[in-house]
Structure 1
């Protein structure tokens, strides 16, 4: 990518964040019309990305970026191929419609500006996830989606349910993000690359590694939590506590598909292994069935759609890992179809709630006359979700059955799961699209009427896009489906399916799905009652399990804190020095790095030995005295003896510093001790003295061993020569030690001075304590 192109792409990635900063100001200035101006930001990004479509359709890739830490191979870089470009277009295209929709849905809300800011930040984070080339950049944006979704889900923070849902989503997806980070580090160490554009060429190396399974489990931890795979599916329906524009955006085309994007991105390098082709279809199939069955139980329009989103994500994961010829193509087609029809249906649910005052399907009916445009959008989107022609969902469903059709038990098992799951989603699609609008008019909390243009424009356009993509499937496949399928498969793929049915087993399976779906729709009330009974038998699910986990974690934290942070300084000091002793002694023993015992110097002179003896005598004095004040004074004996030894061995500056430190320490400690009420004798028991003495000896021995080991290493005079050469030239100082402290280590010295100053202020505060006399006030 040329310099101008790279700069424009960088600006396109940054534009949502810039718009997020300006959104509150725009809302304050323009009020109800702010959405039209704010929507220009994602629309501009969409238009810029659309310009890459011809290049990507030819099978090329677009990379660019800027080096950040070249020595660590870290960069801010992006990577566009058929997969990432399709996701980016969905994010920005649907994002533009969501901003407009939010302008109508949140009209008059006092925090509308804050909402726009959050949704645009999320859009920028999600765009960063799918366009990132660098592992580090991918992880940063991945976690940023968790943080921004936390803000969006908990937008109505005064409600406890919103706060709980936001916290739950953050804990689950944030924890998965940490697993992903570990997985990326494993992949980095195995392959030696930190860019996704280079990783696609290292599949054989990664799959052959003994750490492949570990890396796979960690990556799946990140992907499964983000895309709500069983048993982590519970957070997604709870996230419906967010305003409907958030639900329509996060849970149709963006956040919940981030995990699917990651699996599709890594399919060429981690796929085609038994672990991949067992784990993904297994968990995907369970998620498909669990989501579809739980959707049947619901009566809230948003929850019905949310659980079918869980089911759809399971189907996408199943297809990504299935490994058959058409599975990747089916996953690609269904991902796009789902984004279009599910985004439209979520917005329809929001319109019904906004204009009728309820989302309970049992309290709705006969709205077709009052809301004709909304009904049309709902019906068109539901037809695509049901997999009926002439919509894109039909093409996706036919390709799904072409991928799963087979004679082996594995193919039969997953084909049956797909039939049941798709049939249940068929029933839910028409329950959402028909039951609120057909039948006799039901009295609703609000007088129902058609919403404004900002509300129905988005869902109608998305529903019509699902129709256009199917009618013009040839150009669509060449521009979108085939490049995306090729990127996921790692080899060139040409998607050719169209609206003309192909007789055979896939068409028969599709017919069976429609027939079963009609039966479930007609008996929806009985199916809902049966599911309620079944769930009562099964008992609490993962959602309650999450609450129990959090409560247990809080209790465990409380107990650990009560043991470790018990408010006693002597315990803290004991644990600190005990761990220090272990850190100093254990590694040399484990790795056989014990130092050699030093030889006693044969030419040691009497006065040198005398000062060593004085230091030892001072040590015994500290141990034997009966009061702490005398112990402090005796402690200075060792310091003065060491200072004289420094002087004898040619280090007068160090000796002077040691004298000053010891003098000040003794004086300050003596002053503090006179201000505190301390018992004259050591109150410790014999056991406590033994424990403390053992720890003290271990720390001293550890430091001695460390210093002895350090002196065994050959002296490297590089820094010495540097300072001797440049102290005068650069810092204009003849005293090398002073120059090092003041100039070369100036910032470090400033920090040390700050520490000493803060310590001095604390000591001054202790000295100034006034102890009230007994009986006084």
Structure 2
């Protein structure tokens, strides 16, 4: 399993080398077998007798952190979607992207993202999950901004990263609190301690942080604004990230922790309310759009809201329907994104106002779009998988119970919002299909003369539509082998296991009929009521709020930077020393670090006092010196005085090191300062001088107090005895200092040497550059 997870990442490393032959063979053909092989690997686990699998590799054993991977029904469903649709997206991109594009960049980012998503849904360790979670944000940022020469692509990429990374930090906080409460980093271990988590005083914070992480990633209101702008990415990216994978990461997170959260009143209120608002608002705004991918973007927001609401309901039927709709949505939405890309690719436009009558020119694409749009609309036909999960959603919306007055009100309005959101879903589905493929043709307004796409480009959406029909006609096969196991993992037990078309004349069926009838009437009369968008949202826009926050943040950061980046060394020292002093004093006061015990300290001798006074006099003399060379020599006296103290304290090795370092430092400064002009000290005010004195005295006293406090107060047991006992036994050396540096801290020393080596190379390069300029 571990190789299956990291295989796309390993391939991403060599993709730049494979792309050298892109003029002879499209890079996509060379890398297509990998996601398909991963899909076949996970496909072998599908079956009615499936049992969860666990794989683990030590990562940081000292912190009990391992790369643990857990394959259950839920992660298997997502793994099949990620690898299966990933294979189709790569095949589709071969015909969508020209070989003159930067294919190495595109496929490298895509395969990094594939590994990141597999890691998210398979990780059992929470910190492994978080690492992969952030990799999805970074790789999606690169994919959305693939056409970086476009301003809108850069804007959309930055917007998606800022919002999702904010959620990622929130998720990290929640995972840390979960680890503290449960004492484990395993998600399955946390699920086993569900009662401990729910009864913890940290539970409100855990819930808030997890929900923020899920809402930002899965584009829930009001964080949904990044998804429409992410449509600036190439269509293969939209079909992959924004229909089947990345946007469902937040859904996966809530589903994974559902055994812990389901049944909690606040979880029901927050997830149900936000999910239904997202469903209604997303479907309402989709009808307003004129760009094909814009319509699909808001429809994705709407569908994600519906799934989130069902996870909030927390009942058997709702959780089963949520898992079922994850699969259904991936099939019909993935196909529709690809069809939209085909329309754009073959006509040169995605503007629905310029399209129309394309059924004549693109009959295969139009036929595939029929099944995708009607399934998305939830039309009650037995061969459309979307209707099955939509009717389950209606049934689940009627089966909720209230535990508070507010929840009772919410229970009452849940079916209403479900129907309203679904009506607009029906409208935008019909709007998407009929306004594109039927009606009067406007060929003259299109940049290209429309024609059908190549057969191999039609194959990926055809396979996804075939999935729509197969699931619709044979739902039991998918149910027993896959969906049931996924639902059981979400519910934490046996979830509802029934899928069939006809449930009888129940309220959910009447709700479906009402959606179709009212939606059809509203679609046919759209021109008479769509002026409502001038009032709602009108000029109101969450995008303006986002832009205002970003602009103000940049302005504030610029002002703060200009405040301290003045170019004055004195100002830098004042700020640094003041900050250090404030922090140290605060910590010492909080930790009671001002208690001093001088009983065990060694007596101070006259010779030590004389050396220290000599050093202090030299330090003070630097203030009055008028020449740089004199200042360096006086400072050298302070350094040599320190070496004398080391000798007096019987540390000859430290004294020798201090002498060498001080000599080299003084010599280097003298060589440099010899070429500088004479020192002209600027006149300073009494305020500046007094400030300098205060800061200097305070900082010096603080360092003295810290030294004395460190001797008397120890928060931890000293490690000196460990080195005394083990230096010879483990390191094989009599010189303890050398053993510590070379053996116990060998890696530190290695990196220190590497830093010096890097600095030396930089100096050599600068010298050569200067010589070359001089030669010219």
TM-score of the pair, normalised by structure 2: 0.89
Determine whether 1:519 maps to 2:556. no
In 1, the alpha carbon distance for the partners of 2:480 and 2:600 equals 84
C-alpha deviation, 1:659, in angstroms: 4.3
Contact 2:321 2:392 (C-alpha < 8 Å) held by counterparts: yes
Q: 1:43: which partner in 2?
A: 36
Cα–Cα, structure 1 residues 269 and 680, in superposed 2: closer, same or farther, change >3 Å?
A: same
Q: Deviations over 1:580-600 (max 9, x none)?
A: 323433322221122425369
List aligned pairs for 1:371-770, cutoff 5 A. Answer: 371-388=362-379, 389-390=381-382, 391-405=384-398, 409-443=409-443, 444-536=446-538, 539-596=539-596, 598=598, 606-618=606-618, 621=621, 632-662=632-662, 669=669, 675-677=675-677, 679=679, 683-712=683-712, 717-719=720-722, 721-722=724-725, 725=728, 730-731=732-733
* Greater mean deviation of Cα atoms: 27-36 or 290-299: 27-36
* Greater mean deviation of Cα atoms: 39-48 or 582-591: 582-591
Please point out which of 267, 270, 274 is paired with 1:283.
274
Cα–Cα, structure 1 residues 680 and 194, in superposed 2: closer, same or farther, change >3 Å?
A: same
C-alpha deviation, 1:232, in angstroms: 1.1
Cα–Cα, structure 1 residues 595 and 528, in superposed 2: closer, same or farther, change >3 Å?
A: same
Q: 1:774: which partner in 2?
A: none
- Consecutive unaligned residues of structure 1, counting only runs of 5 or more, are 1-8, 770-777
Q: 2:359: which partner in 1?
A: 368
C-alpha deviation, 1:48, in angstroms: 0.7
Please point out which of 122, 127, 135 is paired with 1:131.
122
* Greater mean deviation of Cα atoms: 316-325 or 635-644: 635-644
Contact 1:228 1:310 (C-alpha < 8 Å) held by counterparts: yes
* Greater mean deviation of Cα atoms: 433-442 or 285-294: 433-442
Contact 1:380 1:464 (C-alpha < 8 Å) held by counterparts: no
Contact 2:727 2:739 (C-alpha < 8 Å) held by counterparts: no
Q: Deviations over 1:529-574 (max 9, x none)?
A: 33244333xx241112222222212111111110111111111122
SS of aligned partner of 1:361: coil
Cα–Cα, structure 1 residues 666 and 761, in superposed 2: closer, same or farther, change >3 Å?
A: farther
In 2, the alpha carbon distance for the partners of 1:760 and 1:75 equals 38
Q: 2:774: which partner in 1?
A: none
C-alpha deviation, 1:707, in angstroms: 2.3
Cα–Cα, structure 1 residues 682 and 321, in superposed 2: closer, same or farther, change >3 Å?
A: same
Q: 1:63: which partner in 2?
A: 54
C-alpha deviation, 1:433, in angstroms: 2.2
In 2, the alpha carbon distance for the partners of 1:92 and 1:569 equals 56
Contact 2:724 2:736 (C-alpha < 8 Å) held by counterparts: no
In 2, the alpha carbon distance for the partners of 1:58 and 1:322 equals 29
* Greater mean deviation of Cα atoms: 419-428 or 406-415: 406-415
In 2, the alpha carbon distance for the partners of 1:380 and 1:760 equals 63
In 2, the alpha carbon distance for the partners of 1:49 and 1:155 equals 30
C-alpha deviation, 1:378, in angstroms: 0.7
Q: 1:147: which partner in 2?
A: 138
Q: Deviations over 1:113-153 (max 9, x none)?
A: 43333323222221221112121221121111112211221
Contact 1:426 1:514 (C-alpha < 8 Å) held by counterparts: yes
* Greater mean deviation of Cα atoms: 287-296 or 19-28: 19-28
Cα–Cα, structure 1 residues 466 and 573, in superposed 2: closer, same or farther, change >3 Å?
A: same
TM-score of the pair, normalised by structure 1: 0.89
| Count of aligned residue pairs for this structure pair | 750
List aligned pairs for 1:100-139, cutoff 5 A. Answer: 100-139=91-130
Contact 1:60 1:81 (C-alpha < 8 Å) held by counterparts: yes
Q: Deviations over 1:435-461 (max 9, x none)?
A: 322234332432222211122222222
C-alpha deviation, 1:98, in angstroms: 1.4
Contact 1:213 1:275 (C-alpha < 8 Å) held by counterparts: no
SS of aligned partner of 1:326: helix
SS of aligned partner of 1:68: strand
In 1, the alpha carbon distance for the partners of 2:463 and 2:378 equals 18
Q: Deviations over 1:245-289 (max 9, x none)?
A: 111111111111111111111111123222211111121111111
* Greater mean deviation of Cα atoms: 67-76 or 403-412: 403-412
* Greater mean deviation of Cα atoms: 499-508 or 220-229: 499-508
SS of aligned partner of 2:69: strand
Contact 1:626 1:682 (C-alpha < 8 Å) held by counterparts: no
In 2, the alpha carbon distance for the partners of 1:492 and 1:75 equals 30
Cα–Cα, structure 1 residues 59 and 649, in superposed 2: closer, same or farther, change >3 Å?
A: same
C-alpha deviation, 1:755, in angstroms: 8.0
Q: 1:196: which partner in 2?
A: 187
Cα–Cα, structure 1 residues 510 and 558, in superposed 2: closer, same or farther, change >3 Å?
A: same
Q: Deviations over 1:661-708 (max 9, x none)?
A: 555555655565554445566733322222222222222222222222
C-alpha deviation, 1:361, in angstroms: 2.2
In 2, the alpha carbon distance for the partners of 1:623 and 1:441 equals 86
Q: 1:11: which partner in 2?
A: 3
C-alpha deviation, 1:77, in angstroms: 2.0
Cα–Cα, structure 1 residues 611 and 151, in superposed 2: closer, same or farther, change >3 Å?
A: closer
Q: 1:293: which partner in 2?
A: 284
In 2, the alpha carbon distance for the partners of 1:573 and 1:196 equals 47
